[in-house]
Amino acid sequence: MQEIKLLKDADVKGKRVLVRVDFNEPVKDGVVADDVRIKAVLPTIAYLREHGAASIILLTHLARPTSPQDPSGDLTPIRTALGALIDMQGIELHENLRFNPGEESNDPEFAKELAALGDVYVNDAFAASHREHASIVGVPKLLPSYAGLLMGREIAGLTPALTPPPGALAIIGGAKFETKLHLIQKLLSQYSELLLGGALGNDIIKARGLPFGASIVSHEPVPIDVAINDRLMPPMDAVVMSGPGAEREAIIVDIRAEERIIDIGPATSTLWAEKIAAAPFVLWNGPMGIYEEGYVDGTNVLAEALSKSPARAVVGGGDTIAALTKHSFDAQKVFVSTGGGAMLDFLAHGTLPGLEALRN
């Protein structure tokens, strides 16, 4: 199989370099609320400048705009945030790729149009590389193509999670069981224990015939072999709510019909923190509670434990990172991915369409 070519192998001197980035950042009131993905691409831009690229054309999508008039797709906030970080001399930010329907349909004509803008293509959009879109899989068919520095960093950071050491722990939370089922099945064959919190924990509680009250659960049933797997542990207690301000801590068997689980409980977070402290390796995706509504205690206890633990770890997921903004981890031990869906797909399949497209 053809190797993926890396940016260091590219001759970019005097070339127009097309760089697919993922600047799909949260925008609030016309301002970028978190610029992590923008900052993560700066090393690639600096590298291209140092190696004499004639120009750098950045390609990104933002949001899921329904038309070029849809304000959610306006790149002005991104351009402003980027301009605040670097000198834009010689750099062009192309319009939102999703303003052209050919992007998502992977239209070869649109890929041709994009490819004509450059001489060399670099994919540094790890977080979008699970999408078979024109800028991700179409353009590399047409130009000499390379993986950017962030792409290299993500692969190096995530790869240890594909072959975890004995005793490794996976913590999966968040919502939409069906979107994480494939990953959970894969992890069950490799990790010693899987702790399932968030709405995913609700699904296991339900599948095991325990009371889940009015908690949010997935419409799809959990496959029985997953539900009964004894390496999979749902919470044993929870913070539950029956109405505004009516919260209490309850052991799972005690949950009433009108109550819904909004966070893991204190006994669960204490036990899971101990497991984090003892594990050689931790993979974590998904918040433990409805963090947007302030139910972050469980997530915070686990994050504290992780920052103190000697364990090596991989952490990622759009909402997970948003829920962990108050925590900082030792970068030597904990790899924090910029990917959401892309990280989940990479962990489930060991590769991504955007990576395979670079084997040309």
Question: Binding to ligand ADP by residue 268, rule CB under 6 A?
Answer: no
Please list every residue from 79 through 118 that binds ligand ADP, using CB under 6 A: none
User: 152 vs 286, which CB is nearer to ligand ADP?
Assistant: 286
User: 62 vs 115, which CB is nearer to ligand ADP?
Assistant: 62
Please list every residue from 205 through 224 that binds ligand ADP, using CB under 6 A: 216
Phi/psi of residue 66, nearest 5 degrees: -90, -20
Please list every residue from 29 through 58 that binds ligand ADP, using CB under 6 A: none
- Per CB under 5 A, the segment of 85-93, 102-110, 215-223, 317-325 that binds Mg ion is 317-325
Whether 248 and 240 have beta carbons less than 8 Å apart is answered as yes
Measured CA to CA, the distance from residue 100 to residue 220 in angstroms comes to: 34
Cβ neighbours of residue 160 closer than 8 Å, sequence gap 6 or more: 281, 312, 314, 335
Question: Binding to Mg ion by residue 345, rule CB under 5 A?
Answer: no
Cβ neighbours of residue 142 closer than 8 Å, sequence gap 6 or more: 111, 112, 115, 121
Phi/psi of residue 37, nearest 5 degrees: -70, -30
Question: Binding to Mg ion by residue 318, rule CB under 5 A?
Answer: yes
Q: Shortest Cβ distance from residue 332 to Mg ion (Å)?
A: 27
Ordered alpha helix ranges (H), the chain? 36-39, 42-50, 76-85, 101-104, 108-115, 149-158, 177-188, 198-207, 224-227, 266-278, 297-308, 318-323, 341-349, 353-356
Please list every residue from 278 through 307 that binds ligand ADP, using CB under 6 A: 285-287, 289-292
Contact letters for ligand ADP, residues 144-163 (x by CB under 6 A): --------------------
Q: Shortest Cβ distance from residue 317 to Mg ion (Å)?
A: 6
Residues that bind ligand ADP (CB under 6 A): 173-176, 198-199, 202, 216, 261-262, 285-287, 289-292, 317-320, 340
Q: Which residues bind Mg ion (CB under 5 A)?
A: 318-319
